[in-house]
Chains A and B, each alone.
Chain A
Amino acid sequence: MSRIAVVVFPGTNCHLETAAAVRAAGGEPRLVRWNVGYAEATGFDGYVLPGGFAYEDRVRAGAIAAKHDILDAVAEAAAAGRPVLGVCNGAQILVESGLVPGLDPGHVQVALAPNAARGWSGYYCEWIHVRGIDTPCFYTAAEAVPMPIGHGEGRFTGDPDLFGELERRGQVALRYVDAEGRAARGFPVNPNASLGDAAGLCNAAGNVLALMPHPERAAWLYQVPEGLRGAWGQRRRQA
């Protein structure tokens, strides 16, 4: 069974349900506190950086946690091709650490900026759909898959040329789509005005994924809203 580290920073608040989802997926989760030291933090088969507000989003969301030495253990696993998933605040940490998109190792290349959709201001909690094919990422979704978002700073942005490059390489692993899987045309399908409708970016090898929506909140059918459009909403209503 894969031993998966679920890293807990001060302010992380999604570690318990993330651990439950890891277990349900067949992994053996272990909560790893930020200050346990390298020896205890290294050597896992995979790492999940869960959601929350690490270090209170001081400076920028994810910025302080990304500088913590526990990220050395995560970077080591990433370099070795082991899976690393950052969800929401975890995605912000991966981006701030330079592991995603990782084309220029050690440098921050993209940002997760404040939501800027016309039609909503500030933090936004809503169910959206994502889809991702033609990507090297370890996680793909051929059909539209529903997940909730819950963030104030989830808009992937950066140099448009770089984003073009990421799209060509398939590193825009998951995009916001409507319930039928069609491309977004602005809000509400793209909930935060993310560039390229990006919901998740991965590194070039595809083993490190920075994902803004929360898959651990969409792992069981009861979590899916009754009124959701699309096949999964229908499945919930028929359950």
Chain B
Amino acid sequence: MSTTPRAAALDLGTLRGEALEKAMRAHGLHLSADDFERLRALVERSPTAAELALVDSMWSEHCSYKSTRPLLRRLPTDGPHVVLGPGADAGIVRLPRFEADGGWSFQGNPHCIAVAHESHNHPSQLLPFEGASTGIGGIVRDVYCMGADVVGVLDALRFGDPDGQQAELARQIARGVVDGVAHYGNALGVPNLGGEVEFDAAFDDNCLVNVVALGTLDEDDCIPSRAPDHAGRDGYVMILVGKPTDDSGLGGAAFASGVLDTDEDTQERGAVQLPDPFFKRVLTEANRCVIAYLRGRQHAFAMKDLGAAGLGGASSEMTGELGLELDLDAVPTDRPDRAAAVILVAETQERYVWAVPESEAEAICRIYEHDFELGAMVRGAGARVVGRFTPDGRYRAHHHGALQVDLATTWITHPQEAAWPRRARAKPVERAAAHAALDARDLRNDLLTLLATPSAASRRAVFGHYDSDVQGHTCLRPGDGYAGVVLPWREESTAVAVGVAGPVRVRRGHAWRAGAHAVCEAVRNVVAVGAMPWALTDCLNFGSPENPECMHDIEESVRGLADAARALGVHGHPDVALPFVSGNVSLYNESRAGRAIPPTPIVACFGIAADAARLRGTTLREADNVLLHFGALEPALGQSLYAQAVELDAVFEHDALPTLDLDAERKRVACVLDAFAAGVVQACHDVGDGGILLAALEMCFGRDGSRDLGVSLQLPDGCGLAHAFAESPGYVCEVRPEHVERFESIATNHDVHVRRLGTVLAAPELHVAWGTRRAELPLPPLSEVWSAGLQRVLYEEVLA
């Protein structure tokens, strides 16, 4: 086949440097002049249009992590329970094997979870509905293609200020993203387990849409994404299945690696893909049958989803170090005149490739086309043999009788790291000034303001759009707690909890803290429902790595992530760091004006519990129970949601930040987990935004603000409202009076100081006593503003 004539080179004359880059941009290529020269040197000729399109996507930051790869090596990624770490479409972790005596071991449980974490920030800013929707569509494919069932999704969202300078845009994007997440997940039939919805002016120009998928599978059923080593010798073919290739999402990967420019937005909308959850549902059922068929035939096979860089990306990665003869004429397209470059890199959604023995190809195509009638679901959809594996390490694509791509496979998939030397420069760290005294403030007014703030208000207005019950295994749903919990193995009591968290209001120069905070908060979310943190994923959302200060932030945040994951570790195994098993990097989150988002590393934590019946949400259970608090109590309101909400600007900017002590954090985690194991926790809320006061109020409100219990809080001597609103990490636990002593002794074992914060009241009231002051407030007016806060900014017209 290699005697086919080579397609003509893309005519770029003898241009160099910026002129060359400008000419390439006219062809829709974002490649740097350096990368162009590197490619030309590798092939020893002028590259073709298809080669350039492929390399443009595959060497982009989005696909290659070229500026962050060396940094990411600093994260702990391994552990005795890690089956597959970063690098694959999803990470895979074995569950612990629980013993009857309450102990557990790393080995011996066949069950695994498959987890993936990605961002769809740039597309969602331009086309919020499609961007968010295909975000869910892409992340579930990453997990499905490991051979897993997807049992839950979560999203971490950051929107602009809905009452700020670009209020209408912020609201429009938030509504569109929520609709997109709901549209895809609901129709696909994957429960949404919650996540984060945060608002801040820092995200006015760049919303963040991070998506996380959780899947389950048994270790033996894991499907590789690389073709078997013998595929080249044993006549393996590549089957492409799914929608016909069109020009949607053209250059999506390269687009996600550039800065958003409003003038070019219209053009770049074409780079956003189109979602089709209905088709994905049918495809998922068909895939299940194909997998069962291939397992029955006992063949080695591989499967991979098509994501960034479309067919070219998936096929080259599947080929690995083998060769592939790819026949682009065999690829079903929406129109007959699609160019080779388009067929190769368009990011048309809802497609997979398989590596299977040629003898099975017909049976597999029949399952898709006959049993599941793919062609009747979407015109032109189907399953076709599009390529043949070879042992020669050469990736060749043919189209219309010409050789369009002729590259060593590894050139495509292994670009050189850091195309230009990335320099990091530290930002000046802003020091904190004195603490604020708040005791003259009106608690009732401040609470009404805080609770109505979109970032503090009830998330029901968003979560109610998501189907969180489909599949029937949801045990704690969004709003019940800060981690979602599922019972994916119907006959077993093992539960999987997942929480996702990251910083919102980051003080300049505190990027390490942002990373450490993200890990600690995600871990707290999982621990607060009673599950043992087991693995992590991350997505690094930053501005341009070409900006040295930003590069420094990335380095510092990664160091923060690594430090926290090592410090917290696996419960009872201080030598085993919590492993990051999957992740993603989203850079260039800045407007053309150079306004970058604050460092936003977002972390998902996956936790395991032997017995779901022992888990607890945040809802208070019974009057007269005792509220225990542990964690620092300090008047540190710097960057706090409270100071921002009530507009104490100087306090917000200059007050001290809460203590972040990783060693203390680890001890508290151990204390909570042991207390759950002893069965002495009735409800638990971690302390974060809004401090212990907001934590206690949310425990009263429950999922919809309609509960009829209250709390009476007595702040310890010397503590005032600043302590109560400070976001110093910790936990508030509801404990039966007869269990307090037991709880305290568990805490003492872990060197944790527990204080009695108050009691549960039989009436919906908030009592707070501090120093010589005391406030008694009825809860209904508070729960009313809390319930309506987000509804007000997102869906005003419904309330009207």
B-facing mask of A135-155, CB < 8 A → 1, else 0? 000000000000010100000
Q: Are A223 and B469 in contact (CB under 8 A)?
A: yes
Q: Are A222 and B469 in contact (CB under 8 A)?
A: no
- CB contacts under 8 Å to A, within B370-413, are 371-373, 377
- Residue from B282, B468, B475, B798 in contact with A119 in the complex, judged by beta carbons closer than 8 Å: B798
- Say whether B186 faces chain A, with CB atoms less than 8 Å apart: yes
Q: Which residues of A contact B182 (CB under 8 A)?
A: 122-123
Q: Are B189 and A10 in contact (CB under 8 A)?
A: no
- Say whether B281 faces chain A, with CB atoms less than 8 Å apart: yes
Q: Which residues of B contact A12 (CB under 8 A)?
A: 281
B475 closest partner in A (C-beta): A222
Q: Are A14 and B613 in contact (CB under 8 A)?
A: no
Nearest CB of B to A10, in Å: 5
Q: Are B472 and A217 in contact (CB under 8 A)?
A: yes
Q: Are A229 and B706 in contact (CB under 8 A)?
A: yes
Q: Which residues of A contact B188 (CB under 8 A)?
A: 13
Q: Are A10 and B377 in contact (CB under 8 A)?
A: yes
Q: Are A121 and B480 in contact (CB under 8 A)?
A: no
- Say whether B795 faces chain A, with CB atoms less than 8 Å apart: yes
A239 closest partner in B (C-beta): B613
- CB contacts under 8 Å to B, within A95-122, are 118-122
Q: Which residues of A contact B617 (CB under 8 A)?
A: 226-227
A117 closest partner in B (C-beta): B798
Q: Are A118 and B189 in contact (CB under 8 A)?
A: no
Nearest CB of A to B383, in Å: 16
Q: Which residues of A contact B464 (CB under 8 A)?
A: 120, 124-126
Complex Cα distance, B612 from A222, in Å, reads: 8
Q: Which residues of B contact A229 (CB under 8 A)?
A: 706-707
Q: Which residues of B contact A214 (CB under 8 A)?
A: 469, 472
Q: Are B282 and A223 in contact (CB under 8 A)?
A: no
A-facing mask of B607-626, CB < 8 A → 1, else 0? 00000110011010100000
Q: Which residues of A contact B285 (CB under 8 A)?
A: 8
B377 closest partner in A (C-beta): A10
Q: Are A53 and B281 in contact (CB under 8 A)?
A: yes
- CB contacts under 8 Å to A, within B224-282, are 277-278, 281-282
Q: Are B189 and A14 in contact (CB under 8 A)?
A: yes
Complex Cα distance, B471 from A237, in Å, reads: 22
Q: Which residues of B contact A16 (CB under 8 A)?
A: 471
A-facing mask of B447-489, CB < 8 A → 1, else 0? 0000000000000000111111111111111011000000100
Q: Are B798 and A223 in contact (CB under 8 A)?
A: no
- Say whether B73 faces chain A, with CB atoms less than 8 Å apart: no
Nearest CB of A to B65, in Å: 34
A-facing mask of B55-72, CB < 8 A → 1, else 0? 000000000000000000
Q: Are A125 and B278 in contact (CB under 8 A)?
A: no
Q: Are A33 and B371 in contact (CB under 8 A)?
A: yes
Complex Cα distance, B616 from A120, in Å, reads: 29
- CB contacts under 8 Å to B, within A71-91, are none
Complex Cα distance, B377 from A12, in Å, reads: 13
Q: Are A56 and B798 in contact (CB under 8 A)?
A: no
Complex Cα distance, B619 from A237, in Å, reads: 9
Given contacts A10-B373, A229-B706, A17 and B472 within 8 Å (CB-CB): yes
Q: Are A10 and B472 in contact (CB under 8 A)?
A: no
- How many residues from A make CB contacts under 8 Å with B? 41
- CB contacts under 8 Å to A, within B659-709, are 702-704, 706-707
Q: Are B706 and A10 in contact (CB under 8 A)?
A: no
Q: Are B613 and A150 in contact (CB under 8 A)?
A: no
Q: Are B480 and A225 in contact (CB under 8 A)?
A: yes
Q: Which residues of B contact A8 (CB under 8 A)?
A: 285
Nearest CB of A to B336, in Å: 26
- Say whether A52 faces chain B, with CB atoms less than 8 Å apart: yes
- Say whether B9 faces chain A, with CB atoms less than 8 Å apart: no
B485 closest partner in A (C-beta): A222
- Say whether A21 faces chain B, with CB atoms less than 8 Å apart: yes
- Say whether A197 faces chain B, with CB atoms less than 8 Å apart: no
Q: Which residues of B contact A124 (CB under 8 A)?
A: 464-465
B187 closest partner in A (C-beta): A53
Complex Cα distance, B187 from A56, in Å, reads: 8
- Say whether B799 faces chain A, with CB atoms less than 8 Å apart: yes
Nearest CB of A to B179, in Å: 8
Nearest CB of B to A210, in Å: 19
Q: Are A14 and B470 in contact (CB under 8 A)?
A: yes
Complex Cα distance, B467 from A12, in Å, reads: 14
- CB contacts under 8 Å to B, within A8-40, are 8, 10-14, 16-17, 20-21, 33, 35
Going nearest first, the 7 A-B pairs with the smallest beta carbon separation are A13-B189, A17-B472, A227-B702, A56-B278, A227-B703, A227-B619, A150-B467
Beyond known contacts A10-B373, A13-B470, A21-B472: 7 more, CB 8 A cutoff:
A11-B282, A17-B473, A53-B187, A55-B278, A226-B616, A227-B707, A237-B621
Q: Give chain B's interface residues, CB within 8 Å of chain A.
A: 179, 182, 186-189, 277-278, 281-282, 285, 371-373, 377, 463-477, 479-480, 487, 490, 612-613, 616-617, 619, 621, 702-704, 706-707, 795, 797-799
What are 25 of the A-B contact pairs (CB < 8 Å)? A8-B285, A10-B281, A10-B372, A12-B281, A53-B187, A53-B281, A119-B799, A122-B182, A125-B186, A125-B465, A126-B464, A216-B472, A217-B472, A222-B475, A223-B469, A223-B474, A225-B477, A225-B480, A226-B480, A226-B616, A227-B702, A227-B704, A227-B707, A229-B706, A229-B707
